[in-house]
Chains A and B, each alone.
Chain A
Amino acid sequence: MKIFKYSEITPENIYKNRRKFIKNMGLAAGSMFIGQNLVTSANANTNKEELKLTDYRYVTTYNNYYEFGTGKSNPVERSQKFKTTPWDVVIDGEVENPIKISMDEILEMFPSEERIYKLRCVEGWSMVIPWLGFPLNKILKKALPTNKAKFVKFISVLDPEQMIGQRFPILDWPYKEGLRIDEAMHDLTILVTGLYGKKLPNQNGAPLRLMVPWKYGFKSSKAIVNIKLVDKMPTSSWMKASPNEYGFYSNVNPTVDHPRWSQATERVIGGGIISPRIPTTMFNGYGDEVANLYTGMDLKKYF
């Protein structure tokens, strides 16, 4: 199946949609929209319906964020009082210039642009979300990674007082994730500060989360406090929880099943009872941009 560029296949559909929600939010000229509105290629099969933006309501009420509980509605129910100010992010490890930067400074220094990406959860569902964010490489470059920096480790906040899920040993808290340096430096990899033209809601990982569109959703850490450049492959919380099920790479791949369920298809959130499953595409449809990162690698082995 050919994967089309997002802009090639359904410009009207999406732009109409986009204008509609900007109007809805009433902030077409709002301060969040500094910089260009960049639509990066997202997955496009042949069906236009598949590219419709997922309702804001679903994006913000139905997701996994185990820090607030394992239920899909737990994040929105239990995160509303979560304090995201003040918030500092430390970038350290194999860098010449370790940084401690506040969220306010991040928002000022790195203007957010809009990126419509598809999020494919490892559980077999997907959403199309208009994120606001900036490439991770912009902030990493400020820290001047040394040549020993081969991987990037993301550490999320540890706060069992506010995050009820962290009182239970479901995962190795705080949440840890990682990327290879070239994945982290890739232009598609963004740090997210908002969605749907708004400030990032707490349940979606405020104030700062990662979004790596060609990998399963759990790779995109939420509420990040520390970005560490390291020389060895970090062990993520999910790898630790179940090493034969969750690998370091976790690229969306319809040909490599989860040991317990198939990854060949996915269900589009918000489609209703009559909407069919759609085939999952390699790298979630971002193969043109990222396949070259993995040339020569056995993706069954490095899942």
Chain B
Amino acid sequence: MKSIFKPGVFTLCLIPFFIITYKIFLNKLGPEPVKEITHFTGEWTLIFICITLSMSPLKRFTNFAFWIKIRRMLGLFVFFYATLHLLTYVVIDYRLDWSQIIDDVVKKKFIFIGFAAWLLLIPLVLTSSQKMIIVLKHNWKRLHKLIYIIAIFGSLHFIWLSKTIYFKPLIYLIIIIFLLILRINFKRIISKTR
């Protein structure tokens, strides 16, 4: 039972990837396929951020340890989809036109913050192994709090690219803020009862 659990979650996490691959090869992306791929991978990055951030609250509520056991994998899928998203923008959309890309990153705040969020993911990926947890000790936990900033950046990235105030980008920000507030309150409650 335990042995099929992780591969099962892994396969589930790949479903969005299979969907977009299927759509690309069968040309089911509509009039603006590149935008479609960009939005799809971007949105799934945000969804995985939300899922990842839900794991420790879920553990607290349910007392099941397996939420924490799959957290690392979920976090790595955040990076996976974020990288697909970035590659879509750099390779498919802008065809490695670096002057245009650099110009965008520097001048456009939504691209800047999105790129910053992706960069911040890198140290988390590099220190995601069991070994690094031991090496970094309590610093590991501190370092991995970066995901809170990444989450906020990610949702702002979505909000700022929209032409006007849209419902959907705001929903992500609200969910993320909710998941973060959940943490703050929990810690306070725990420390007070001690």
Contacts and interface: CB of A to CB of B under 8 A. Distances in A.
**Chain A interface SS verdict (over half):** loop
A264 interface: yes
Contacts of B29: 273
A115 interface: no
B31 interface: yes
Contacts of B94: 277
B33 interface: yes
Interface stretch (A85-93, A94-102, A132-140, A255-263): A255-263
Interface residues of B, number: 28
Given A58-B31, A62-B32, A270-B31, A260 B24 contact: no
Given A241-B164, A273-B92, A262 B31 contact: no
A228 interface: no
Contact of A70 (B34, B92, B111, B164): B164
A190 to B, nearest CB: 24
A261 B110 contact: yes
A241 B166 CA distance: 13
A267 B92 contact: no
A267 B35 contact: yes
Contacts of A270: 31
Contacts of A257: 107-108
B109 A276 contact: no
Contact of A62 (B27, B30, B107, B108): B30
Contacts of A276: 95
B104 A262 contact: yes
B159 to A, nearest CB: 10
A162 to B, nearest CB: 22
Interface in B2-41: 24, 27, 29-35, 37
B27 A272 contact: yes
Interface string B100-117: 100110011111000000
B192 interface: no
A280 B16 CA distance: 33
Nearest to A54: B31
Interface string A140-154: 000000000000000
Interface in A245-303: 257, 260-262, 264-265, 267, 269-270, 272-273, 276-277
Nearest to A264: B100
A296 to B, nearest CB: 27
Given A260-B109, A261-B110, A262-B108, A273 B166 contact: no
A125 interface: yes
B93 A260 contact: no
B164 A269 contact: no
B151 to A, nearest CB: 21
B164 A260 contact: no
A242 interface: yes
A125 B32 contact: yes
Given A171-B164, A260-B108, A272 B93 contact: no
Given A260-B109, A261-B108, A277-B93, A269 B161 contact: no
Contacts of A170: 164-165
Interface in B135-160: 160
Given A125-B32, A270-B31, A273-B92, A261 B161 contact: yes
A123 interface: yes
Contacts of B104: 261-262
A113 to B, nearest CB: 27
B163 interface: yes
B100 to A, nearest CB: 7
Given A262-B100, A272-B33, 7 more contacts: A62-B30, A261-B104, A264-B100, A265-B100, A267-B32, A273-B29, A273-B33
18 contacts: A61-B31, A62-B30, A62-B32, A70-B164, A72-B31, A241-B164, A260-B110, A261-B111, A262-B107, A264-B103, A267-B35, A269-B31, A270-B31, A272-B33, A273-B29, A273-B34, A273-B92, A276-B95
Interface of A: 58, 61-62, 70, 72, 122-123, 125, 170-171, 241-242, 257, 260-262, 264-265, 267, 269-270, 272-273, 276-277
Q: Which 5 A-B pairs have the closest CB atoms?
A: A273-B33, A58-B31, A62-B31, A269-B31, A260-B110
